[in-house]
Chain A
Amino acid sequence: MKKTSTLSMAAALMMCVVPAMAQKTASQGIDEYRAMLQDGNPAELFEAKGEDLWKKARGPKNATLEKCDLGKGPGVFKGVFVELPKYFADTQKMQDLESRLVTCMETLQGFNAAEISKTAFGRGEMANVTALATWVAAESKGMKFNLSQSHTQEKTFYEVGKRLFFQRGGTHDFSCASCHGEEGKRIRLQDLPILTKNPGDGVGFAAWPAYRVSNGQMWSMQLRLNDCYRQQRFPYPGFASDATVALSTYLGVNAKGAASIAPAIKR
């Protein structure tokens, strides 16, 4: 059976003109809703918990995290968030905020990093990693993203991250770019940030960790990426795996100059 005609193709193209007027009130309404939620972001609850966890002696070694080196020297937490992921010489690895916190929990406090990485989001020590990440991120609020690209691995991870971003697969042929490759698009009523360049202050990479009102959960960047991959119908990305760190590197480098608003409040 032979199908398509150029005529129907032309018709398909013609319908691309979208009436935007009727939508205006809906998106204005949504904006108003979001504005109402800004005052009183429950992420503050997790922020407070994270700060407490940083200072508390815990784990088999009964130590605090106050000597943790998140990239700017032991104990420095201001400004580290907007420079991660980066290469760490001691672990010889590219690490994002969460994987680095887990490293500190292992080396300083004696926790088992592999065990933590296997724990489901929101449970046990993983929930503590998220709270810590929320607090550390909050300590860089308003600062601009500025990831290093000086180490070979930092450049290589950017390139790998770019390939992951455009990788089509799964049952739906989706890649990250299917939703985040063009400006001004929406899924349902959600605006989709373009992530191949700086999408602006507090958008995309500069908004997470964020509190999700739809499920009342605090979501770290690792969970954000994990759920993107889930909805892409991809298989399960390991926590702080090279793939998620490489993708974060790509997004973080692209976000250069964007001011962080993390922790944000999201749908």
Chain B
Amino acid sequence: MNKKTQLVLASLAAALVAAGCASGPSVAELNALTDKIVKASFRDQSHVKVARLTATDETNTACSEADVAGKPLDEKIAKRIEEANMKAIKWPSDGKFIGDWKQGEAIAQSGRGLTWTDSATALNGGNCYNCHQMDKKEISYGTIGPSLYNYGKIRGVSNPDDPASKPIVEYTWGKIWNAKAYNACSNMPRAGHMGILNETQVRHIVGLLLDPKSPVNQ
């Protein structure tokens, strides 16, 4: 399959040369070739299917294209993507936003799930510490995302059930469920939207961030 694609590519290059096109293939041609190479190079493995790449949504395709161009996403497209993702957020079915921070901590620590070496049925981890500081006692944390140490405290959440805390509580849920609702090309996964975490797990993570008793707020 390698050879085939590369031969196609060679003939494409040859055609371009014949046409006197010294500057090489166009952006559209390169994009098409990349798609072709992706289809020929990746294969299903266990429960991880190639469709994860080929059938991705506009959020990803538009942001990828902007990244390649090295320019921020067009404002109108960004707005449209954010609105679509905002609409897709599922709010807690029972109105309860705050779960058990202890279980939230375990989910935040775990980086497991959804790779081809993971079981297809086990509960997934949240990968939070890979990118964020949270509990100060955990020194092994990443810096791709901002520190979330004292997340609730900094925002003045002393009682998450207080109506005054509502905007923060809801924002926190929404951000975890679908980060792209607030920033179209955020690096952060859409934990709820993409089925990485279920509603109960998201609730526990919100608890970890906002419960005044959580180590995050100590």
Where the two chains meet, the residues of A that have a C-beta atom closer than 8 Å to any C-beta of B are 1, 3-5, 7-9, 11-12, 14-19, 22-23, 26, 92-94, 152-153, 155-156, 159-160, 162-164, 166-175, 177-179, 181-182, 184-189, 192, 230-231, 233-238, 240-244, 246
Contacts of B1 in A (CB 8 A): 238, 241
Whether B52 contacts A234 by the Cβ 8 Å rule is: yes
Whether A171 contacts B130 by the Cβ 8 Å rule is: no
Whether A156 contacts B41 by the Cβ 8 Å rule is: no
Whether A23 contacts B9 by the Cβ 8 Å rule is: no
Instruction: Say whether B123 faces chain A, with CB atoms less than 8 Å apart.
Output: no
Where the two chains meet, the residues of B that have a C-beta atom closer than 8 Å to any C-beta of A are 1-3, 5-7, 9-10, 13, 16-17, 24-25, 30-31, 33-34, 37-38, 40-45, 48-50, 52-53, 56, 59-61, 63-64, 67-68, 86, 89, 91, 114-117, 127, 129-131, 133, 136, 139-144, 146-149, 151, 154-155, 167-168, 170-171, 174-175, 180-182, 187, 189-190, 194-196
Would you give the shortest CB distance from A152 to chain B, in whole angstroms? 5
Whether B151 contacts A15 by the Cβ 8 Å rule is: yes
> Considering the chains assembled together, what is the distance between the CA atoms of A177 and B171 in angstroms?
26
Whether A242 contacts B6 by the Cβ 8 Å rule is: yes
> Considering the chains assembled together, what is the distance between the CA atoms of A113 and B189 in angstroms?
38
Would you give the shortest CB distance from B25 to chain A, in whole angstroms? 6
Whether B154 contacts A15 by the Cβ 8 Å rule is: yes
> Considering the chains assembled together, what is the distance between the CA atoms of A19 and B3 in angstroms?
52
Contacts of A244 in B (CB 8 A): 41
Q: Which 6 A-B pairs have the closest CB atoms?
A: A243-B41, A241-B41, A236-B45, A166-B67, A168-B60, A172-B189
Would you give the shortest CB distance from B177 to chain A, in whole angstroms? 10
Whether B196 contacts A187 by the Cβ 8 Å rule is: no
With contacts A12-B182, A160-B34 known, what are 9 further pairs, Cβ within 8 A?
Answer: A3-B89, A15-B148, A17-B147, A19-B149, A233-B115, A234-B52, A234-B53, A235-B53, A241-B41
> Considering the chains assembled together, what is the distance between the CA atoms of A94 and B131 in angstroms?
35
Whether A4 contacts B6 by the Cβ 8 Å rule is: no
Whether B2 contacts A240 by the Cβ 8 Å rule is: yes
Nearest chain B residue, comparing its CB with the CB of A15: B146
Whether A242 contacts B43 by the Cβ 8 Å rule is: no
Whether B174 contacts A234 by the Cβ 8 Å rule is: no
| Contact of A185 with B175 at beta-carbon distance under 8 Å, contacts A168-B56, A172-B194 already known | no
Contacts of A166 in B (CB 8 A): 64, 67-68
Would you give the shortest CB distance from A6 to chain B, in whole angstroms? 10
Whether B30 contacts A160 by the Cβ 8 Å rule is: yes
Whether A162 contacts B68 by the Cβ 8 Å rule is: yes
Whether B44 contacts A235 by the Cβ 8 Å rule is: yes
Nearest chain A residue, comparing its CB with the CB of B144: A185
> Considering the chains assembled together, what is the distance between the CA atoms of A185 and B196 in angstroms?
24
Whether B114 contacts A171 by the Cβ 8 Å rule is: yes
| CB-defined A-B contacts under 8 Å, sample of 26 | A1-B170, A4-B86, A5-B171, A16-B147, A18-B143, A18-B147, A22-B139, A23-B139, A92-B6, A152-B24, A153-B6, A164-B34, A170-B52, A172-B127, A172-B189, A173-B189, A174-B189, A178-B187, A186-B141, A187-B131, A188-B129, A189-B140, A235-B52, A236-B43, A242-B40, A243-B37
Contacts of B33 in A (CB 8 A): 156, 160
